[in-house]
Amino acid sequence: MELRHLRYFSALAGSLNFTRAAERLHVTQSTLSHQIKQLEDELGTQLLDRNSRRVTLTASGDAFLHYATRALQEIDRGLGALREDPQAATGELRIGSTPTFNLGFIPECIASFHERYSGIRVVVEELPADVIVARLQQESLELGIAYRPAAPGPLQFEPLYNEEMVLVVAQGHPLARRKRMRMVELHRMPMVLLPGSFATRQMLDECFRSCGAEPHVMAEINALAPIMGLVAKTRLAAIVAANAVLPHTGLHIVRLESPTPIRTPGMLWSSPSTRSPATLAFSAIVRKMAFRTSLLENTTRKRTGRKER
């Protein structure tokens, strides 16, 4: 199946007249008929009923038209984005992001985006995943970057990679000499965690329950930067994404196992037909950065993966 097959079918379905559709496409009627027959043969179903008086869509043709139209709209939007001058583009791109991504990932994406789209203002709001879902449905956000929500509703979730979560402590903490530990060892451990409304906290609580551990949660903070600051200044431990621990912060990572907490970050979208060229361009940068992040995490895991003796 080629792009021209979809364009020919869409034009014919719009007019239900071979003569008018052929004129619109600047091809002969025989060429149009041949291309439609090729499409039907490839799909293995009849899309149109033809007789001497009229052309009508079959049930299969009517169903396929919906998807063909969406595909052509996305392709045309993509071609338009390629043709426009990025430096001349203006406007605003509103993004909702959960806390982990705002330390390093989102700033890198914005820096790369502004190298090409300097006229577009990027507004990032740090929000829980359920709020991001609600705001996307209300169309007050154009893109969400979060962990896989329990109930995305009508939104589309595009997974980026799997992310390991680790224990983080200050260099003077009793666990700072450890490379890895079982989660059951965190029983009664003084900790600072995200509030219970966050999907990440709910996932961690499930991990604690599965191994019979009950940490002593002494503080709950809904943003990652103050969590890390509190860990650096106290004997409290936290569980965060491995790539959220920036270098030269005086913090120590301890790998967790039995179980190892794993999250799946991704992008949340509303209807594909509403994605602006700026949103599509930013999402392409997110994919590129996510691929680099996953490679870095795999390299780090291999480097620190040997067992303690």
Please write the tens of the pLDDT for every residue from 99-157.
778 777 899 999 999 988 888 999 999 988 888 999 998 989 999 998 887 776 788 88
Token readout for 69 is 């139209």
Give the whole-angstrom CA distance, residue 205 versus residue 193: 10
- Tokens 């983080």 map to which residue? 168
Token readout for 167 is 């224990």
What is the CATH code for 3-83? 1.10.10.10
Contact 38, 23 (CB under 8 A): no
pLDDT of residue 308: 40
**In terms of C-beta density within 10 A (0-12 exposed, 13-18 middle, 19 or more buried), how is residue 213 classed?**
middle
Give the whole-angstrom CA distance, residue 178 versus residue 254: 6
Q: What are phi and psi of 137, to 5 degrees?
A: -65, -30
Q: What are phi and psi of 181, to 5 degrees?
A: -160, 160
Domain 87-160+265-303 superfamily per CATH: Periplasmic binding protein-like II (3.40.190.10)
The ranges of the chain annotated as CATH 3.40.190.290 are: 163-263
The ranges of the chain annotated as CATH 3.40.190.10 are: 87-160+265-303
Output the pTM of the full model. Answer: 0.57
pLDDT digits (tens, 9 = 90+) for 247-259: 778 899 999 999 9
The whole-number mean pLDDT for each consecutive block of 10 residues of the chain, a chain of 309 residues, reads 83 83 85 87 86 81 84 75 61 88 85 89 90 90 87 82 92 94 96 89 94 96 90 96 79 95 89 75 89 62 46
pLDDT of residue 5: 86
The ranges of the chain annotated as CATH 1.10.10.10 are: 3-83
Angle CA 43–49–53, to nearest 5: 155
pLDDT of residue 117: 86
pLDDT of residue 253: 94
What is the CATH code for 163-263? 3.40.190.290
226-235 burial code (b ≥16 CB/10 A, e <16): ebbebbbebe
